[in-house]
Amino acid sequence: MTAVQSEYSLWTRDPEAEVLPALAELGIGLVPFSPLGKGFLTGTVDATTTFAPGDIRTRVPRFEAENRAANAALVEHLRELAARRDATPGQVALAWLLAQQPWVVPIPGTRRLARVEENAAATGVALSADDVADLDALAARVGVRGERYDAEHLGYLDR
């Protein structure tokens, strides 16, 4: 096995306790999907955002309006750090992932060329050790409100 794909981001830290140590021990890479939290960590989604019919975020508890409002503190912190690094919040979120381990290679999804270019530029965002440590503790400090998936999807993931 060369790599494992799992959801991993600043607001989905589940792999850290058991998966990342096992991958490190076995020399296996991690390919985080949804590294930008289904767009939330880019700062382009807020409590007033409406989603098109069929958009999975309409069924994800983290994307309920009250949870988006509560989770805004996470994005605000990303915005502040991004401003100091001449970057976007999404680039900082990706740079944090890239700083975790050399074998962590996120795959942000997008439909727009401008976003591909923006995401690729995250490789040039230099985070200090203090920045990484601060972001590591961020979710614990501000909390993440709402489940990752609805009950239907959670049941599927438990299989």
Residue 154 is predicted with a pLDDT of 53
The answer to whether the CB of 72 falls within 8 A of the CB of 41 is no
pLDDT tens column, 79-92: 999 999 999 999 99
pLDDT at 92: 98
Whether pLDDT at 153 is above 80: no
Kindly tell me if the per-residue pLDDT of 142 is higher than 80: yes
Residues of the chain above pLDDT 90, percent: 80
Res. 38: pLDDT tops 70: yes
**pLDDT category, 148, cuts 50, 70, 90?**
confident
Strand runs (DSSP E) across the chain, as ranges?
3-7, 29-33
Confidence of residue 62 (pLDDT cuts 50, 70, 90): very high
HSE value, Cβ hemisphere, 13 Å, CA-based, for 54: 0
pTM value? 0.90
- Give pLDDT, residue 95: 98
Instruction: Indicate the angle between helix axes 65-84 and 129-142, nearest 10 degrees.
Output: 160
Rounded Cα distance between 121 and 52, Å, is 28
Euclidean distance between CA atoms 6 and 103, whole angstroms: 13
Distance from C-alpha of 32 to C-alpha of 13, rounded to nearest angstrom: 11
